Chains A and B, each alone.
Chain A
């Protein structure tokens, strides 16, 4: 191994192995690398191996069954509904998050001075990002309180304005439970997407906007025909995040509307994985759900990258 100190890079001919430096670098690197390989990389690889086995119970035996765990999934009465709930969740959050975050990012990108300035922009930016740092458990419980059928904020308000029949049992009703969780999710993450799009808008050179304005573009035209196309990469990134996060939704659902309380209307892939693995101790099947989820996300993401790039060209 050609091991050398950083400053010797300029004179590669004089490279020699300095064992003191080798030892120092190895000492620095080993603890982190060891922990990372053992607890991150190894379990990732192993999950595909476990998925090929029938394995029930912590002390049970592992029996190799090939792809049977995967072949079983489409016939399973919970798997496809769970997948479709993830998809419905994606449609709900993607539509609202993209519209709202583009709108607010555009507004919050307005300058601090000049005729088009925004009042208290820093305050709004800081406030909108705040829900993102709150614990997902606290967010879930806050919204469980808001949705509480008897004394929750939402139903108390609805009754007050005379919409008594609108005051539903939001989280227990199979028709409203998943949308109710989706609203909570949007509240929770919207600030992050605003931040993302705002960073993208800030990267657009000022001359581009000025040129469009000189050409007589209205503010809406500027947004639609200049800002939006230039945000293409960020939009693609946001859509990919939304796909990944919809497929990986777990904590909010598990705490606010566990599938057992909604007649499986809120059964999503990861709640199903958790039930199979840690309630039924069915480790092989649970790993197969995880691996399938991962493969779906990978495939969809790669396809999307392709299609998006092709459309652009």
Chain B
């Protein structure tokens, strides 16, 4: 690395020359890495508008001659007898919304109980929840599948909970609790104790204190936990792969993987690029709006875990 040797030389001139060289090297590296991320994404975006012939015969850095918007129609509604992403998108929205709502409800209830009330075992239980962050999911995958498959409740789930969104959602909630409790416990702990006293003195019931006073104050924590869980559930693959076997019940990641595998043989590549684009847009939007919360949550979770 020439910049280092240049730098270790004495004298003002070689010093600033070394600095300049190092600076150039730094920016070249940064730009190179940025292009490594941006170019594939850009390529994906404009290739979604190309015809399959163009994808095969033209250079990949050439923009589409004319936009093939029908790629998006084919991706969404399906092509040549294959199902499109539309239904999977709907499934994923449904599952994500319900799951994240339940995670935040159960997570904030449990965290509130464990951080704002002193009783024997409270810290142990809190640690038990948080330790779930290091449990590997794959270890539980076989027993989990068998449990959901064999739990049959006449009238409610006569054929078990595999392919049943209630089963998948319950599993998602359970596996998201450790991180959620971990994030929320930091926020709940930081709230001053006088708030509960004042609220109780004003005649509020414990539930009113929790819902009307404490939850609104923990809102920043709920946002971090919510954003994280939305991304996590929206993207989740291995548990859905195991717990959903019926194609019509697939979530978006499963559906996309499935369409790509099937399409390898009939190959409408333009529509596949469009499908991939559709899958990535929601996460891009969430990231644009919540970038700060996401890096906060990642840092907190990483250093703790």
A residues at B contact (CB < 8 Å): 1-9, 20-21, 24-25, 28-29, 31-33, 35-36, 38-44, 46-47, 50, 58, 103-104, 107, 118-119, 124-138, 140-146, 150-153, 156-157, 160, 187, 192, 195-196, 199, 218-220, 237, 241, 244, 248, 250-251, 255, 270, 273, 277-278, 283, 286-287, 290-291, 293-294, 297
Contact = CB atoms under 8 A, between A and B. Distances in A.
B136 interface: yes
B136 A133 contact: no
Given A130-B287, A143-B40, A287-B142, 14 more contacts: A9-B118, A39-B171, A40-B174, A40-B178, A131-B37, A133-B286, A136-B235, A136-B253, A141-B260, A145-B47, A156-B59, A219-B7, A248-B138, A278-B242
Nearest to B237: A251
The B interface, classified by DSSP as helix, strand, loop or mixed, is helix
Nearest to A3: B119
Contacts, number: 256
B145 A278 contact: yes
Given A133-B283, A135-B283, A218-B4, A35 B173 contact: yes
A136 B34 CA distance: 20
A213 to B, nearest CB: 13
Given A29-B113, A38-B174, A219 B22 contact: yes
B136 A248 contact: yes
Contacts of A132: 298
B60 A28 contact: no
Interface stretch (B64-72, B104-112, B217-225): B104-112
B55 interface: yes
A185 B21 CA distance: 31
Contact of A195 (B173, B283, B295): B295
15 contacts: A24-B207, A32-B177, A40-B174, A44-B143, A47-B143, A125-B295, A134-B235, A134-B280, A136-B235, A137-B235, A138-B276, A138-B283, A196-B302, A199-B299, A283-B142
Contacts of B237: 135-137, 251
